[in-house]
Structure 1
Amino acid sequence: MARWMLVMLLLVCIVEAKLHDIKTFNVNDYGAIADDNTDNSRVFLKAWSDACNWHGRAMFRIPRGTYKINPIVFTGPCKGSKIFQLQGVLKAPINSPTSESTWINFRYINNLILNGGGILDGQGASVWGHNGHHVLITMGFAFISNSYVHQLSSINSQNAHIAVFSCKNMTLRNITLTAPRDSPNTDGIKLSKSQGINIKNVHIGTGDDCIAIISGTKNVNISNVYCGPGHGISVGSLGKHDDEVDVRDIHVKNCTFNGTSDGLRIKTWASPLNHTLKASNFVYEDIVIIDVEHPINIDQEYCPSGNCGNKVPSKVQISNVHYKNIRGSCKGDIAVNFKCSKSNPCQNITGIDVNLWSSLGRTGRLTNYCSNVHGAFYGKQFPPSCI
């Protein structure tokens, strides 16, 4: 027992020594004012510059209190790993004084940790539906690698909550993203041209996609996500622009969709491209569906406005999509809807144990719809598979 206690004491000493190795840069020491009114942008940038240029581990700290900042860019590269600790509340400007599309930006940083349990308040209710207001994505990551974001909340974003562009090896965990059901374009997490992204234990309730996976994204693992309200977890939309890149290797597991318009969704435009775009190797497993309008949906005639001119078959090739153990209630009429491209039919679409029933109980009747899709479904299938 004495030897065990000695080992534990040694470990505690090592941890404490590591903590003392971190140099803290507290924004209040630089003159930040938490009065919910003063613009602290310049003060924050000065504190960040010193933290970023510190040789070794550094913590940029925002203590408790409510701070207002205008659009800001925390940029690297930095000298050593950095911790961005938000313990207070940050409030976005109602009418941005700059042309930046994102409120809080992180760019060109390696080994970044964001935590602290704080809140990002986008104040979206002040701009939703008001023409002339410049709306902001709450938080953006661009060219970030080997990073970890956890224990944060984002509320009432003006536009999307989090946008991830050209990032590698990034984990988002234990975060909460919320906006009202009728708030416009308030996607939870948008991923583009990124790889090695892990999203775990996240609660998202918004007015748009809970998670949107778009051009050039690959090697994404999503697990234990609660989505609702919102438009589900979507791949796409894809296939509208010639500069788009393939999307592949997406794994969604142990997620719950409650009261969303869609659950598991892939959407592509019925528009011409100069090349065939590929969306492939997706696995959806152990999914719970609660009162969802469209639980499983591949839509290759995507046209949200309803006025897309002369449609042509989508040139996005969807293949190797697998559904395993999907169960729950559907409040629409079609449980599984595969509306694939006539010129590029969906290939190798498989399902095992897909059990969906009507939210109306015995009085409700569900069907499945399949068009231009090849594959096979096995095990328990209710409604019966149309493949």
Structure 2
Amino acid sequence: MGLKSSFGIILVPFLFLFFIDASHGLPPKLFDVRNYGAIADGKTYNTEAFLKAWNDACAHQGRSRFYIAPGTFLLESVSFEGPCKGSITFLLKGTLKAPTEKSKFSTDTWIGFRYLDDLTVKGGGYLDGQGKFAWPYNDCSKNSYCGPLPVSMRFDFVNNSRIHHLKSIDSKNTHFSIFACSNMNISKVRITAPEDSPNTDGLRIGYSRKIKISDSVIGTGDDCISMLYGSQDIDIDDVSCGPGHGISVGSLGRSHEDQYVSRISVKNSSFVGTQNGLRIKTWSPSLYSLASDMNFEYISMTNVRNPIVIDQQYCPFPPCSSWGHSTSSAVQIKNVKFRNIWGTSNSEVAVNLKCSGLIPCQNIELRDINLVYNGPGGRATSLCSNVKGSAYGKQQPLPCF
């Protein structure tokens, strides 16, 4: 009797733990949009079906799989929102196609994810923004009544998540926008838009931290990756950029003066035929801000117009003096390292560091730079203004400080 009681005391807790572990090991529940009325004919709008499937997946207490089968699904602007009861995988096997009617461009988002934790977006499928129908309306520089064009996929307040194995083509605006997110891993994305497509940034990051981007290919009409105010702990590794405007920090200083940019790393990456390579840009004039602790290393440049750029005189739509606190940029740039950067520049000025006369750049390091001018005559040169820094190892062009 004593022995049986002893086994009973031990066995009940054991069985309880077993069932808890087994529940965690259950396969995810599948929510197939076709079961909610979605039709993959490329002609029927499927927004209502997608939202119904999402609501059920989000309410499921456990792992959910939101499934989009092979085929072409036409989709209007949609927002997938949380918080949800469990983790969700957005599994895109087919193609999502954006609207072409101008009446449906009056939004800043095509596909949005908001207020989510433990989200995975993957599947190898396509986001087709059909941007060529919208690019002619990207005329805000000359039309004060212009409206926003939709970002293909936007993540707002999304944490502890992964985006991988996706293809985005011909976005109307930015391909992927990341705002107020943390601990996000983005890998194996392929982004494509024509070189002359306006404002089609590959990835745009703002007010986010602990973002890792790796093993990706980006060719577009604007920045391959841009990091705006509040970007911190951004790690970019093994990214191929071109065509496009390069990888940029900024522009900074026009607003959000208390949202600093810091701890940026770009390494093991390549630029081919881009307008810029590695660029830091701040408005002039500007509000006070800070951009610091940035490392750019092991970078190859092929036929890049401006391989290394710090531009603290950025003002694309003059006059700018009506809104700044100063006539110069008040953004402090410091602790920036350019290391092991090589290749060809298609302009003679391969290194151009134009810092602020109000707050000069501090602790800028050039180490083992080998950039050759591939145009007729002359050698690559460097230009500097208001820079305090140091140079080590091989230097071509010769450093200007």
SS of equivalent residue, structure 1 residue 224: strand
Which one is further off, 41-50 or 237-246?
237-246
Percent identity at matched positions? 48
Map 1:1-387 to 2 at 5 A: 21-94=27-100, 95-97=102-104, 99-130=106-137, 135-243=149-257, 245-273=259-287, 276-305=288-317, 307-309=319-321, 312-360=327-375, 363-387=377-401
Q: Please report how far the alpha carbon of residue 308 of structure 1 lies from its aligned counterpart in structure 2 after TM superposition.
A: 3.2
Letter in 2 for 1:202: S
SS of equivalent residue, structure 2 residue 45: coil
Is the contact made by 2:308 and 2:350 (CA closer than 8 Å) also made in structure 1?
yes
Pair 1:247–1:335, CA change in 2 (3 A): same
Q: Distance in 1 between matches of 2:278 and 2:40?
A: 42
Pair 1:96–1:285, CA change in 2 (3 A): farther
Letter in 2 for 1:183: S
Which one is further off, 149-158 or 364-373?
364-373
SS of equivalent residue, structure 2 residue 41: coil
Pair 1:243–1:319, CA change in 2 (3 A): closer
Q: Please report how far the alpha carbon of residue 125 of structure 1 lies from its aligned counterpart in structure 2 after TM superposition.
A: 0.7
Unaligned runs of 5+ in 2: 1-21, 140-145
Is the contact made by 2:90 and 2:120 (CA closer than 8 Å) also made in structure 1?
yes
Q: Please report how far the alpha carbon of residue 304 of structure 1 lies from its aligned counterpart in structure 2 after TM superposition.
A: 1.9
Q: Please report how far the alpha carbon of residue 135 of structure 1 lies from its aligned counterpart in structure 2 after TM superposition.
A: 2.0
Pair 1:143–1:134, CA change in 2 (3 A): closer
Q: Distance in 2 between matches of 1:134 and 1:267?
A: 23
SS of equivalent residue, structure 2 residue 104: coil
Q: Distance in 2 between matches of 1:291 and 1:244?
A: 37
Pair 1:272–1:133, CA change in 2 (3 A): closer
Letter in 2 for 1:201: D
1:4 aligned partner: none
SS of equivalent residue, structure 2 residue 194: coil
Q: Distance in 2 between matches of 1:214 and 1:242?
A: 10
Letter in 1 for 2:199: N
Is the contact made by 1:96 and 1:134 (CA closer than 8 Å) also made in structure 2?
no
Pair 1:179–1:378, CA change in 2 (3 A): same
Q: Distance in 1 between matches of 2:246 and 2:309?
A: 10
Q: Please report how far the alpha carbon of residue 359 of structure 1 lies from its aligned counterpart in structure 2 after TM superposition.
A: 1.5
SS of equivalent residue, structure 2 residue 42: coil
TM-score, normalization: structure 2? 0.89
Q: Distance in 2 between matches of 1:138 and 1:308?
A: 30
Q: Distance in 1 between matches of 2:210 and 2:336?
A: 19
Is the contact made by 1:71 and 1:96 (CA closer than 8 Å) also made in structure 2?
no
CA distances 1:312-338 after superposition (whole Å, capped 9, x unpaired): 110000000001100000001201101
Is the contact made by 1:96 and 1:135 (CA closer than 8 Å) also made in structure 2?
no
Letter in 2 for 1:343: L
Q: Please report how far the alpha carbon of residue 126 of structure 1 lies from its aligned counterpart in structure 2 after TM superposition.
A: 1.0
* CA-atom RMSD in angstroms: 1.8
Unaligned runs of 5+ in 1: 1-15
CA distances 1:173-228 after superposition (whole Å, capped 9, x unpaired): 00011100000000000000000000001100010000000000100100000000
Q: Please report how far the alpha carbon of residue 78 of structure 1 lies from its aligned counterpart in structure 2 after TM superposition.
A: 0.6
Letter in 2 for 1:121: D
Q: Please report how far the alpha carbon of residue 129 of structure 1 lies from its aligned counterpart in structure 2 after TM superposition.
A: 1.6
CA distances 1:151-187 after superposition (whole Å, capped 9, x unpaired): 0000000000000000000011000111000000000
Is the contact made by 1:234 and 1:266 (CA closer than 8 Å) also made in structure 2?
yes
Pair 1:306–1:295, CA change in 2 (3 A): farther
Pair 1:217–1:133, CA change in 2 (3 A): closer
Aligned length: 369
Q: Please report how far the alpha carbon of residue 364 of structure 1 lies from its aligned counterpart in structure 2 after TM superposition.
A: 3.9
Q: Distance in 1 between matches of 2:271 and 2:333?
A: 23
Is the contact made by 2:321 and 2:327 (CA closer than 8 Å) also made in structure 1?
no
Letter in 1 for 2:301: I
Letter in 1 for 2:219: G
Which one is further off, 199-208 or 128-137?
128-137
Q: Distance in 1 between matches of 2:106 and 2:136?
A: 19
Q: Please report how far the alpha carbon of residue 360 of structure 1 lies from its aligned counterpart in structure 2 after TM superposition.
A: 2.5
SS of equivalent residue, structure 2 residue 153: strand
Q: Please report how far the alpha carbon of residue 303 of structure 1 lies from its aligned counterpart in structure 2 after TM superposition.
A: 1.5
Q: Please report how far the alpha carbon of residue 99 of structure 1 lies from its aligned counterpart in structure 2 after TM superposition.
A: 4.2
Q: Based on CA coordinates, which of the two structures has the bigger radius of gyration? A: 2
Letter in 1 for 2:385: S
Q: Distance in 1 between matches of 2:360 and 2:321?
A: 22
TM-score, normalization: structure 1? 0.92
SS of equivalent residue, structure 2 residue 281: strand
